[in-house]
Chain A
Amino acid sequence: MDVLCASVAGTLESSDAQVSIEPGNGKLDLTIESSVLNQFGKQIRATVLETLDRLDVTNAKVTVIDKGALSCTLKARVEGAVFRASGYTEDDIAAGKKLPWGGAIR
């Protein structure tokens, strides 16, 4: 899954996370800030990396500003940001084009 443009998904509200993605320099570059870093830092990182891996994102700069989101929220925000960075538009979907990652979203 190629990251073609910069994108953002999510908010800075409590229990949400804001995920930003930009095209990378040939590798995955992940930055995490979190209000629950001390308790959940490694789990947040694992969730984000698993989701990116599932979407086959390997070349991107990803920033997560987490405000205590649950794992399901984090996954959804990462997927949302990746989708918005994929160059697909609502029109493409309306025109019946398949999502770029097929069944990768779970």
Chain B
Amino acid sequence: MINAVGRDIPEKVLQDLNMKPFAGTYARNGEEYRKAAPKVRAWMDPKESKMLDSIAEAVKKCGIKDGMTVSFHHHFREGDYIVNMVMEEIHKLGVKDLTICASSLGKAHNPIVPMIEDGTITNIQSSGVRGQIGEAISTGKLKGYAIMRSHGGRVRAIESGDVHIDVAFIGAPTCDCYGNMRAVGGKSDCGVLSYAYVDAQYADKVVAITDTLVPYPNIPASISQVNVDYVVVVDEIGNPAKIATGAAKPTTDVRKLMQAEYCTQFVINTPYFKDGFSYQTGVGGASIASTISLGKIMKERGIKMGLGLGGIAGPMCELLEEGLIDKIVDTQDFDLKAIESISKNPNHIEITGSEYANPMNKGAYVNQLDFVILASLEVDTHFNCNVVVDSNGMVTGAQGGHPDTAAGAKCTIVIVPLLQGRTPAICTDVTTVTTPGETVDVVITDYGVAVNPARPDLLECAKAAKLPVKTIEELRDMAYAITGEPEKIKFGDRVVGVIEARDGTIIDVVHQIKDYEWD
């Protein structure tokens, strides 16, 4: 069945997953539903301890068996040890057919690939995957489907009961004996535990894993004792050097600086750039550079940001310290500066994944965004973005908050170089749609700026900013003139992955890759 972004979703996939094709970004607006709820084991006896000796004991106590769903968060990013430690113990029990429901998975989790191959893990639900897990999915080694959800979409799926988590394993930088978890103060600080909050609320069993047990009570807690069954202390929950990196050097790449300048000029020429505006940006070189150059203009004009949202990195925290931002509202920290900021600055505040981006609660923060600055692997002539599958067809990225913020913001800006090596980043049709073009307003490249025809108001802003305005087709043609027109990738028949729209419908599918055919 052809969905609202023109992608053919096979009937078999719709039936297998009991899902509907994507019908438009706001198609489910106003829909009413009843939330799911976990099974809770009452913990009345004050003499009972929640402390367990090991992950192995936790895995047994939680009664993990075939076909269950276990969940993880990704706040430790590429420094995470939790997933591998837990899965190793589950693997030892010989349990099969598990679903992993993670807020994201990365290269740090390459060691679980053999468990995909031997049938321990048969379904993966994640924002995305990188490295060998992506290859395992794309080459058809995962028996079931990989479902890719945005950060907001994952919360929606859990709260609405589309997925039920049997056991949540939550790595906590600090925890007390009764399960109060905080993201700061330990050996492996990650700043916030935003994406794990929903797991704690909706999983039947919740296991806190920490390397820093602190005196009771560990408050204010990101995740409260009332949702936690067990506490396990291990030597290390992560590698701090990979959880948070030092300050990234501002880019010196002239193309990125030029794109950053285009972005800033565009932003300040829109009516949304006024005192109290709200803003989210990423951690790419051009995004960081545009935050820095925007900060200078804010200072010159005496315009303050009311809300800085999202995954947070150092440059936003510097603007907060300079008094140019009122509040930073945070769901993930990308560097040491951000972690330091949230632990010290009372105007830098942790929120949950639901508050951030859940499309079907009673209103998420993303809906209040004026601007979001995003990157993308590919953007097509319909303004659709692809951030999950590379141009060779391999699963290699993550949705993150991309579709959530694009849907929420009044002005969604995507900064992308015209070419990524020989691959044209502006193309006729993206390999896989993750963010629908109807939510993408402006595309900024090093060769010019294109505005979605649905936004003639923003086209006027781009012209007022004296930017090199092109149509998206002109940008594509410039790219193809340099690289040659790429061949359409030939995939195998089997669907190995599903790109879930944030409202729980299918926006696109990912097919198994196959060997290149020369003729």
Contacts and interface: CB of A to CB of B under 8 A. Distances in A.
Interface string A63-99: 0000111110000000000000000000000000000
Interface core residue of B421, B482, B489, B513 (most chain A CB under 10 Å): B421
Nearest to B489: A38
Given A36-B391, A41-B518, A68 B487 contact: no
Interface in B375-401: 391-393
B516 interface: yes
B245 interface: no
A15 interface: yes
B392 A68 contact: no
Contact of B392 (A37, A67, A69, A71): A37
B423 interface: yes
Contact of A38 (B421, B483, B516): B516
Interface residues of A, number: 17
A37 to B, nearest CB: 5
A38 to B, nearest CB: 5
A40 B420 CA distance: 14
A40 B483 contact: yes
A71 B419 CA distance: 14
Given A36-B392, A69-B422, A43 B484 contact: yes
A25 interface: no
A39 B487 contact: yes
A42 interface: yes
B6 interface: no
Contacts of A11: none
A45 interface: yes
Interface string B160-190: 0000000000000000000000000000000
A39 B392 contact: yes
A42 B518 contact: yes
A62 B489 CA distance: 26
Which range contains the number of B residues in contact with the other chain?
A: 10 to 19
Contacts of A37: 392, 516
A40 B422 contact: yes
A68 B516 contact: no
Given A36-B391, A39-B392, A42-B487, A68 B518 contact: no
A40 B487 contact: yes
B486 interface: yes
A37 B516 CA distance: 7
Contacts of B393: 38
Interface string B424-461: 00000000000000000000000000000000000000
B484 A71 contact: yes
Interface in A23-53: 35-43, 45
Nearest to B517: A41
B484 to A, nearest CB: 5
A40 to B, nearest CB: 6
Given A39-B486, A40-B486, A41-B516, A70 B422 contact: yes
Nearest to A69: B422
Contacts of B490: 38
Contacts of B516: 37-38, 41
A35 B483 CA distance: 14
A92 to B, nearest CB: 34
Contacts of B422: 15, 36, 39-40, 68-70
Interface in B472-516: 482-484, 486-487, 489-490, 513, 516
B421 A14 contact: yes
B377 to A, nearest CB: 13
A35 B516 CA distance: 12
Contacts of A15: 421-422
Contacts of A69: 422
B484 A36 contact: no
Contacts of B518: 41-42, 45
B423 A68 contact: yes
Given A36-B423, A37-B392, A38-B393, A70 B482 contact: yes
A45 to B, nearest CB: 7
Interface string B113-125: 0000000000000
A69 to B, nearest CB: 7
B421 A39 contact: no
B391 to A, nearest CB: 6
12 contacts: A14-B421, A15-B421, A15-B422, A36-B392, A36-B423, A38-B393, A40-B483, A40-B486, A41-B516, A45-B518, A68-B421, A68-B423
Interface of B: 391-393, 421-423, 482-484, 486-487, 489-490, 513, 516, 518
Closest 6 CB pairs between A and B?
A68-B421, A39-B486, A68-B422, A38-B392, A38-B489, A43-B484
